Amino acid sequence: MEDKKQTVTVNIYGEDYPIRGDADSAYIVQVASYLDAKMREVAQRNGSKSASKVAILAAMNITDELFRARRASSAEVKTIEEKTQTILEWLEAKLPSEPSR
């Protein structure tokens, strides 16, 4: 089997990290850039100089974003399921039932 993993070097919060993975290199760079921006945002807001503290706070913020997105997605799926059920019930009421055999 062919190994399709590649290594991409990204810069996050002033440090270079070689990232090895299956994802497209542009995607890896995009993810790293997002993390870098979040870390810089946290550092600017909190004035923290410790990279580890900034990383933990950025991770908390990103995790909060993930949980909120999952919750919103779950609510959307529930709404779609409810609407689908309503449509099915309406269709069943409007369509003639199959004759008994």
Number of Cα atoms under 13 Å in the Cβ half of residue 22? 2
Over residues 1-37, the pLDDT tens digits come to 556 789 999 999 999 999 999 999 999 999 999 999 9
Prediction pTM value: 0.72
- DSSP labels for 37-92? HHHHHHHHHH----HHHHHHHHHHHHHHHHHHHHHHHHHHHHHHHHHHHHHHHHHH
Domain extents in the chain: 6-94
Q: Give SS3 for 99.
A: coil
- DSSP labels for 14-40? TEEEEEEESS-HHHHHHHHHHHHHHHH
